Amino acid sequence: MTGINENYLKLKAGYLFPEIGRRVKAYAESNPQAKIIRLGIGDVTLPLAPSIVNAMVEAAKEMGNPQGFHGYGPEQGYSFLIQKIIEHDYTKRGVKIDEDEVFVSDGSKCDCGNIQEIFALDAKIAVVDPVYPVYVDTNVMAGRTGEADANGRYQNIVYMPATEANQFEPEFPKEKADIIYLCYPNNPTGMVASKARLTEWVEFAKKNGSIILFDSAYESFIQDPNIPKSIFEIPGAKEVAMEFRSFSKTAGFTGTRCAYLVIPKELKGKTKAGESVSFNSLWSRRHSTKFNGVSYITQKGAEAVFSPQGQMEIKEQIAYYMENARLIREGLGKAGYTVFGGTNAPYIWLKTAKGMKSWEFFDHLLQSAQVVGTPGSGFGPAGEGYFRLSAFGKREDVISALERIQKL
């Protein structure tokens, strides 16, 4: 019989969100009358903006006539979209990015999961704890870690705890770390990194020969004009960082699927023999060998996000979600909870009631208030005793959820 990749057996019971799905489904089946409110998985609820829908309707029609039909597109993405991304997200903020440094894909989850393939198997990764599980799980699958301990921490990963004690701002790794995953605005804590702090990270990476994988999927939720939206706003960052961006939360693309990864040509790795190799060229090879581009229709939809009308429409949606965030933050505060995040990010990070464990609080909230959130411990052991609520719900659901929680 054919051998399996045994690294998969090191993984914990299940990917967080499917596990939540299973528990909610079981509860719903035993309580068919319950009106469950989902503020768990970070899924958007507002419909796609009219500019985006119109662009996709037109693109679908184009695909139906001989002149407008598009077969295989460039694996890296169409120029019409890449140019808009560069102009809007980088040039306007004083950052110079070339077209061949942007790789359009079908999602940041895929990019974050696949990127580790281009690194050496013995490269050591560092992650914040709590963290988006995909960073860790994909490295476990690749064999870059040992077994997990009783707390769920894998051997050979450097964990950087983000706790109340350090105001959720992790310290620099004390051990050697080749690859540092950072996510700002942060999922799950909702915290952001100041320009000063990001500058320190860039300097740390330079000094220690590390590279930073910067996940800025939530940059459009930043309200404070002094907070950087891109790590490339920091001088020298192009030599030490790559950046993940997504239309999922910015423009409601969770079910439409479009994202991009920026890898500056200055960003280099090395062979064991000491030869320097550009990560851009390695990823280009990976992307063109294992991926075949994003749907033309989807890319036309993404392009419309950058039109003046599209920008106006998505800004309204973001304002709607940020008003939800304010309601959750303040509502939970009134109910006596200690809350974090939610001012420059769509996530609110709270301490569970009465020192409950995260999954205990999950079950409590589901059974007593029919509200679904995400257990902090699902993001790592330092998340134990915390809980994440998402601001992506419908306004009436957010209000009902808070009323129910306040009554508990």
Q: Which residues in 166-185 contact a copy of itself (CB under 8 A)?
A: 178-179
Q: How far is the CB of 164 from a copy of itself (least distance, A)?
A: 30
Owner of token pair 């914990």? 12
* Residue 134 lies near a copy of itself (rule: CB under 8 A): yes
Touching a copy of itself, residues 312-351 (CB under 8 A): none
Q: Is 77 left (phi over 0), alpha (psi -120 to 50) or beta?
A: left
Selected from 163, 254, 307, 406, the binder of a copy of itself by CB under 8 A is 254
The amino acid at residue 158 is: V
For a copy of itself, the closer of residues 119 and 379 by Cβ is 119
Q: How far is the CB of 355 from a copy of itself (least distance, A)?
A: 31
Q: Does 42 show up as a binding residue in the annotation?
A: yes
What does each C-alpha distance from 7 to 85, 140, 146, 155, 179 come to in angstroms?
Answer: 37, 6, 9, 13, 20
Q: Do 332 and 323 meet the contact criterion of CB atoms below 8 Å apart? A: no
Owner of token pair 């992307």? 287
Owner of token pair 């300097």? 203
Touching a copy of itself, residues 205-234 (CB under 8 A): 209-211
**Is 69 exposed, middle or buried, given 0-12, 13-18 or 19+ CB atoms closer than 10 A?**
exposed
Nearest of 332, 320, 316 to residue 373 by alpha carbon: 332
For a copy of itself, the closer of residues 67 and 226 by Cβ is 67
Q: Does 218 show up as a binding residue in the annotation?
A: yes
Selected from 24, 39, 44, 198, the binder of a copy of itself by CB under 8 A is 44
Q: Do 317 and 395 meet the contact criterion of CB atoms below 8 Å apart? A: no
From CA 139, how far away is CA 141, in angstroms rounded?
5
From CA 104, how far away is CA 258, in angstroms rounded?
7
Selected from 83, 114, 311, 400, the binder of a copy of itself by CB under 8 A is 114
* Residue 80 lies near a copy of itself (rule: CB under 8 A): no
* Residue 146 lies near a copy of itself (rule: CB under 8 A): no
* Residue 26 lies near a copy of itself (rule: CB under 8 A): no
Nearest of 157, 218, 154 to residue 186 by alpha carbon: 218
Owner of token pair 């479009």? 258
Which positions from 287 to 306 touch a copy of itself by CB under 8 A, shown as an x/- string? -xxxxxxxxxxx--x-----
Selected from 103, 119, 347, 362, the binder of a copy of itself by CB under 8 A is 119
For a copy of itself, the closer of residues 261 and 332 by Cβ is 261
From CA 401, how far away is CA 371, in angstroms rounded?
6
For a copy of itself, the closer of residues 129 and 178 by Cβ is 178
* Residue 49 lies near a copy of itself (rule: CB under 8 A): yes
From CA 269, how far away is CA 286, in angstroms rounded?
15
* Residue 148 lies near a copy of itself (rule: CB under 8 A): no
Q: How far is the CB of 396 from a copy of itself (least distance, A)?
A: 11
Point out which span in 25-33, 38-46, 89-97, 324-332 binds a copy of itself (CB under 8 A): 38-46
How many residues in total does the chain contain? Answer: 408
Question: Taking the CA of residue 385 as centre, how many other CA atoms within 13 Å lie in the half-sphere pointing to its CB?
Answer: 7
* Residue 374 lies near a copy of itself (rule: CB under 8 A): no
Binding site per annotation, positions for substrate: 15, 42, 109, 132, 187, 292, 388
Binding site per annotation, positions: 15, 42, 72, 108-109, 132, 187, 218, 246-248, 257, 292, 388
